[in-house]
Amino acid sequence: MCIRDRSTLQQTASSKLGFGASRTMQIAQRLYQGIDISGDTVGLITYMRTDGTNISKDAIEDFRDFIQNSYGENYLPKEANNYSGKKAKNAQEAHEAIRPTDIKRTPEEMKKFLSTDQIKLYDLIWSRALSSQMEPAKFDRKTITISSQDKINEFKCSGSTIKFDGYLKLTKIDNDEEEKILPNVKKGLVEASNFIDEQHFTQPPPRYSEASLVKKLEELGIGRPSTYASIISVISNRGYADIINKRFFPTDRGKLLSAFLEKLFSKYVDYGFTAGLEEQLDDITSGKEEWIKVLDNFWSCLLYTSDAADEEDSVDLGGRRII
C-alpha cells in the first residue's frame, strides 16, 4: 500500500497519475532536493532512489500522532504496522522507504508552493505513507439479486460493501486489488427503464503499460530499479514502440528488430540469460567472481555468434527477408 521504493513509486505514479518513469523520477528529485518555501529551501520527501521498505521509528511516531489528532482513535492501530518487502539483489537499503520528511506538511498546505505535477506526486507519496500506518479497511461480502416479478429473469452481482473505510480514507482501492465495491442498497421494487444487452468475449492479455512493464522486469529479475526509467526511455525514443492510451504497441522497426534478435541472437535476448548475467554481476560485486573471466566468457560467445550471423547471406524474418 505504501510507496516503499523507487520501482513502486514508478509503478504507482504510472497507474495513478499517468506519469512516465523518467518524469516521475525527475519530479521526485526536485521534491527531494528542496522547494522554496517562504524563503527557505525545504526537502519535502526522503531519498527517492532507495530500495528500502522500512520507515524510521521517529517518523512512525509522527504518523501515529497525526492520525490520532486528524482522524481519531478508530483509524489508529494499537501497534505500528510493519511491512517487509521482497529483498532485491544489490538493493540500496541504507535509506528508508520513500515518505514525506514532515507529515505535518499536508498536500493542501504545500499546494501553493508546488507545480501541478509536483503536488500530484507529493500528494501520492504523502497519502500512501500516512495510510500505511492506518487501520485496514473492513468489508462485508454481499450478493445483490434482482428478480422479475414472474421469477423468470434473475440478475446477480457479488462483491463487497465498505463497513469501515480505514486507510481508504486517504487512498482508493488499486485496480489490481480485485475488490469489487457494491453500492449500499435496500430491499424493494426496482424500476428498470432500460437494459443494456452486451455480449462479452475472452480478451487477450492487455499490452504492457509502464507500470506493468516495470512489475514484469522485477518478476523476471531483469535490470535494477535504477535502470527501469532508462529501459523504458530507450524503447520509446528509438521508435521500437508507440505509447497509445498508456500502452506499448510495437512499431514495424520494433517488430523487425525483435525478430532479427530472436533469429540470430536468441541466447542474448532470453529472459534467463539476462537474469543470469545480473547474478554474475552481483557475484563480481561481492568478490565471488572475477570480472575479467566473466567478460571473457561473454565476449567470446558473443563474437562467435556475431561471426555466424555475418556468414548468413539472408535472414527470413516471418515473411521479410534481410540480405
CA distance 236 to 319: 25
Tell me the C-alpha distance between 217 and 215, whole Å: 5
- Whether 167 sits among the annotated catalytic residues: the reply is no
Nearest to 130 by CA among 88, 166, 154, 159: 166
- CA–CA dist 84, 174 (Å, integer): 19
Q: Which CA distances in Å does 250 have to 39, 116, 239, 312?
A: 48, 31, 9, 26
CA atoms within 13 A on the CB side of 64: 13
**Grid coordinates given for 66:** 497525526
Distance of CA 162 to CAs 73, 132, 159, 204, Å? 19, 18, 10, 32
Catalytic site residue from 32, 47, 71, 240:
47
User: How is residue 259 written as a grid cell?
Assistant: 525478430
35 close to 162: Cβ distance less than 8 angstroms: no
Amino acid symbol at 219: E
Can you spell out the DSSP letters for 46-83? --SS-------HHHHHHHHHHHHHHH-GGGS-SS----
Helix 6-17 to helix 21-33 angle, to the nearest 10 degrees? 110
Catalytic residues: 47
